[in-house]
Structure 1
Amino acid sequence: MPDFDAPIPPEYAGRRLDRALAELLPDYSRSRLQRWLADGALTVDGATPPAKTPVAGGEHVRLFVPAEADDGDVRPEPIALEILYEDDDLLVIDKPAGLVMHPGAGNADGTLQNALLNHDPELAALPRAGIVHRLDKDTSGVLVVAKRFAAHRQLVADLAERTVKREYEAVAVGVMTAGARVEAPIDRHPVDRKRMAVREEGREAITEYRVIRRYRAHTHIRCRLETGRTHQIRVHLAHVRYPLLGDPVYGRRLALPPGASAAFSEVLRGFKRQALHARTLGLTHPISGEAMQWQAERPADFQGLLDALAVDAEEASAR
């Protein structure tokens, strides 16, 4: 979200833009605001006019404060990245399960942000090294990183306007009869602040899911996000009583279908993360305007889980 997002008051009409901005944003020096305007971190009506431009009043100012002091302790680390696409403005990667997005409590290093700074040191000038959306630590799949301020600004706006296509594959516990659309607001859990929950006073959250294949006690589904709340798919599926297989926070006890083989039981017990994979990402290139889309292949553990579910279903039908 922008750090500042508001119009220039009408009474500022006739002032130089940099002076109007200095009054509107008194926490920052005029020289810093001028630099951010030139770099594209600060925009006026979506553009970056010269600092001496006179204002009319009513122009919309949006500021994404570049990560400087907050991210100053994040150091580059030689962590391998699986790059799906890269140009001057974008970096699209396939994130493995187990990789945390950025440093925080309990994860001082070894994160995606550390890896990004090693891959391209210039990303240090951007908030969280250009990360504009996130995947949970144990969710695998495709995500996009901005490499320049202008791209970062536009991608954040596109996410807010819901023009970025994000589709996931998941394995839910239970046999679904059909897909559905879940519209249920999400907020912090009232007691456990590390969890999210469906709450009436929460922020709008919309998830659509469709059945790919049903198994004996599970369902392979495709999910599409219209909004991007924390833990959204996990919370919504638990809310409709089809939690993700392996979800340690929102899941339920392991469900083994009758007559499950020892090998199949071992696969289910051995799947220690939520069965969620960000399969497809589609967007309009923030600079060129070209429609682009990428897919991240299922990781080995996810594919192995699907294979085991299929074998169990075939063995059961042959009995």
Structure 2
Amino acid sequence: MKIPKFADLIIYEDDNVFVVNKPPFISSLDERGDGSSEISMLRLAKNYWEDAQICHRLDKETSGALIFAKNPEAYRSVSMQFERRKVKKVYHAVIEGTHVFDELLVDLPILNTGKGNVSISRQEGKRAETWFQSLKYFKHYTLVECRPVTGRMHQIRIHLATQRASIAGDEMYKGKPVFLSQLKRKYHLGKDQEELPIMKRFALHAYEVTFKPDGENDVTIHAEYPKDFETLLKLLDKFDS
């Protein structure tokens, strides 16, 4: 994978923080315990700004808005905003099926079972809340806005799965990849060609974040869709609407 120039990923910057539009397939932090030289967003950020600290994280496959602090004070301030649930996060996801979510609140506790796995557990789970709003309907898919109140691991993904609305391509939660042959009639593959999914990951993007970089005034930052997400929506528009 071609690593983009870090400065080109920055969508907001001031004296205290910078926000990047994270590409998919790059971990937020170095993967634990693997001595690999695999690149992480934090490592790239430190090459850009030596004292950079990451204020939250996104799953490796998730693209979108990711906040970094430039100094310890800013890091403390933004971390406290996350802790007190003052940061507003908006994600967009393409889910399987046509679902009319009109300010649907999913309030189901999530238990981290280790090794990157989570489950819904009313007994042992930690409180987790997400609001869902349908934005656009296709024949077999829906574009939804997801607004997590809490920040549990895989929260949006598992909450959608509980609504039988798995994110397209999210195989961990029974979501299937989208192939052009499913959408387009008379789709022909060349001889000996294997068809690849339209997106090689699950369709989740951190679209917008609102927080106080200076601890005083709110700033809302939009992260544009990456190419693969945009392509999926264009093809759904063309062949599945």
Higher-helix-fraction structure:
1
What does the per-residue CA deviation read over 1:107-146, in whole Å, with 9 as the maximum and x for residues that have no partner?
A: 543111110111012x1xxxxx411111111110011111
Q: TM-score, normalised by structure 2?
A: 0.86
Whole-angstrom distance in 1 between the partners of 2:132 and 2:21: 22
What is the alpha-carbon root mean square deviation over aligned residues?
A: 2.5
Paired position in structure 1 for 2:20 = 93
Q: Does 1:173 align with 2:132?
A: no
Of 88, 107, 119 in structure 2, the residue corresponding to residue 183 of structure 1 is 107
What is the TM-score when the length of structure 1 is the normalising length?
A: 0.66
**Is the 1:173–1:255 Cα contact (8 Å) retained in structure 2?**
no
Does residue 140 (structure 1) correspond to residue 63 (structure 2)? The answer is yes
Q: Which runs of 5+ in 1 are unaligned?
A: 1-77, 124-128, 315-319
2:177/2:199 contact within 8 Å kept: no
Change (3 A) 1:146 1:115: same
From 33, 38, 47, the equivalent of 1:118 is 47
Deviation (angstroms), 1:85: 1.5
1:119 aligned partner, one-letter code: Y
Greater shift in the superposed pair: 238-247 or 254-263: 254-263
Residues of 2 paired with 1:249 and 1:308: CA distance? 24
How far is the alpha carbon of 1:221 from its aligned partner? 0.5
Mapping 1:23-42, distance limit 5 Å: none
Aligned match of 1:197: 119
Alignment deviations for residues 59-99 of structure 1 (CA, whole Å, 9 cap, x no partner) = xxxxxxxxxxxxxxxxxxx9622111212210111100111
Cα separation, 1, equivalents of 2:38 and 2:120: 32
Seen in structure 2, the aligned counterparts of structure 1 residues 134 and 255 have a Cα distance that, compared at 3 Å, is closer
Q: Is the 1:248–1:273 Cα contact (8 Å) retained in structure 2? A: no
* 1:102 paired residue among 7, 11, 29: 29
Task: Give the drift of 1:251.
Answer: 2.7
| Deviation of 1:262 (Å) | 5.3
In the alignment, the residues of structure 1 paired with residue 28 and residue 153 of structure 2 have an alpha-carbon distance, to the nearest angstrom, of: 13
Q: Which residue of 2 aligns with 1:149?
A: 72
List alignment gaps of at least 5 residues for structure 2. Answer: none
| Cα distance in 2 for residues equivalent to 1:264 and 1:310 | 20
How far is 1:178 from its partner? Answer: 2.6
2:143 alignment partner AA: H
SS in 2 for 1:154: helix
Distance 1:262 1:209, change over 3 A: farther
Within 2, Cα distance between the matches of 1:264 and 1:132? 46
Task: Report the AA paired with residue 286 of structure 1.
Answer: D
Displacement, 1:188?
Answer: 2.0
Counting matched residue pairs gives: 228
Q: Distance in 1 between matches of 2:145 and 2:65?
A: 15
Residue in 1 that maps onto 2:225: 298
> Is the Cα contact below 8 Å between 1:247 and 1:275 reproduced in 2?
yes
